[in-house]
């Protein structure tokens, strides 16, 4: 459910009981993000008017099964803005928020913001259109929580979109213009939103990539289809999540290498962890562009 708070649309719960949300001792808006890809964006948009803590920061951590710590609970309890991915991806964050209700806290649920439901692809940080919606909503939250600095947040947003994301957008346009329609295989559903944005022809059955992402059993039919696509070189490039190499993914990796299919990698969270959202995405896009060039010669 979404409700209106202060003229914007937020996840339900922004007016729950408990101590009122307020700036920290340093006067900054206290922000907690369940994952560091959203936290990176929030930090850049807030500049020196916010303190942002991301909970999932280790590239080796599985956000689906994360067990929050007492330190995480304290961070959530003190946050005026909480950013949750939603869509079943970080249910533990909803539990932390429910355990420490704060009147006036803004909860930004990305899945609800972009109009998706549980069972839909949760990896919306790989969907550029969703990223821009989140940017807009984070700034709206800052305006609500720290109204005297609305002009400052507007400037931060403009700088981030026109400078921070410039190379990210250039690479997306370049790949789209050169390689749209190129048949590509991919190991996990995290890549699907970006692949669609780039206009690539995604041959892998979505049920295969969804099962790998969720840790469920891949069907025999899907295994056969994906293996044959690599064996017969129907896919020009194979993209896999290097943070989750299951036996099924490893098998396709080996087939792709044996058949000379260029391989590009993606990761679920910022890798390396100190990277900003745009540094991480640019690195992956550059790797993908290199693989597509190698595969097509263009």
Q: How far apart are CA 66 and CA 93, in angstroms?
A: 9
pLDDT at 47: 98
What domains, with CATH codes, occur in the chain?
Answer: 2-164 (3.40.50.1980), 167-296 (3.40.50.1980)
Structure tokens at 103: 């009147």
d(CA 256, CA 175) in angstroms, rounded, equals: 21
At CA 200, angle to CA 63 and CA 125, rounded to 5?
25
Q: pLDDT band for position 65 (50/70/90)? A: confident
What is residue 146's predicted lDDT score, i.e. its pLDDT?
97
Interval 99-126: pLDDT, tens: 999 889 999 999 999 999 999 999 999 9
Averaged pLDDT, 17-23: 49
Dist. CA 86–CA 192, nearest whole Å: 18
Cβ atoms of residues 47 and 156 within 8 Å:
yes
Distances in Å between the alpha carbon of 282 and those of 13, 108, 226, 275?
A: 35, 25, 27, 11
Closest CA to 139 of 84, 93, 81: 81
* pLDDT attached to residue 73: 95
Average pLDDT for 25-43: 94
Largest Cα–Cα separation, the chain = 62
Q: Which of 18-27, 33-42, 49-58, 207-216 has the least mean pLDDT?
A: 18-27
Contacts of 82 (CB under 8 A, 6+ apart): 31, 32, 33, 34, 76, 93, 97, 105, 106, 107, 108
pLDDT of residue 20 exceeding 90: no
Average pLDDT, whole number, for the chain?
Answer: 92
- 121: DSSP letter: -
Q: How does pLDDT run across 131-163, given as a tens digit for each residue?
A: 999 999 999 999 999 999 999 999 999 999 999
List alpha helices for the chain, DSSP H: 36-46, 70-77, 91-99, 110-113, 128-145, 150-159, 166-179, 192-197, 206-214, 220-231, 247-258, 277-296
pLDDT exceeds cutoff 50 at 130: yes
Instruction: Give pLDDT, residue 63.
Output: 81
What pLDDT sits at residue 21?
A: 56
């Amino acid at each position: 459910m979404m409700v209106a708070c202060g003229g914007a649309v937020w996840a339900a719960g922004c007016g729950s009981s408990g101590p009122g949300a307020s700036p920290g001792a340093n006067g900054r808006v206290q922000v907690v993000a369940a994952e560091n890809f959203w936290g990176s964006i929030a930090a850049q948009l807030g500049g020196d008017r916010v303190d942002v803590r991301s909970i999932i920061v280790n590239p080796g951590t599985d956000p689906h099964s994360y067990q929050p710590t007492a330190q995480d609970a304290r961070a959530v309890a003190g946050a005026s803005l909480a950013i949750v991915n939603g869509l079943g991806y970080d249910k533990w964050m909803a539990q932390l928020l429910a355990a420490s209700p704060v009147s006036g806290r803004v909860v930004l649920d990305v899945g609800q913001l972009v109009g998706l439901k549980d069972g839909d692809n949760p990896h919306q940080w790989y969907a550029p259109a969703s990223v821009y919606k989140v940017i807009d909503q984070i700034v709206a939250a800052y305006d609500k929580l720290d109204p005297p600095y609305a002009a400052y947040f507007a400037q931060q947003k403009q700088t981030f979109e026109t400078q921070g994301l410039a190379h990210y957008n250039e690479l997306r346009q370049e790949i789209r213009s050169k390689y749209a329609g190129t048949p590509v295989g991919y190991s996990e559903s995290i890549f699907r939103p970006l692949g669609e944005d780039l206009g690539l022809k995604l041959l892998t059955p979505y049920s295969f990539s969804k099962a790998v992402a969720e840790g469920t059993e891949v069907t025999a039919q899907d295994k056969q289809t994906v293996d044959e696509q690599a064996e017969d070189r129907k896919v020009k490039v194979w993209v896999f999540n290097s943070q989750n190499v299951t036996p099924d993914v490893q098998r396709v990796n080996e087939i792709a290498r044996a058949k000379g299919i260029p391989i590009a990698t993606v990761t679920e969270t910022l890798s390396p962890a100190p990277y900003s959202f745009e540094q991480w995405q640019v690195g992956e896009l550059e790797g993908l562009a290199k693989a597509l060039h190698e595969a097509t010669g263009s």
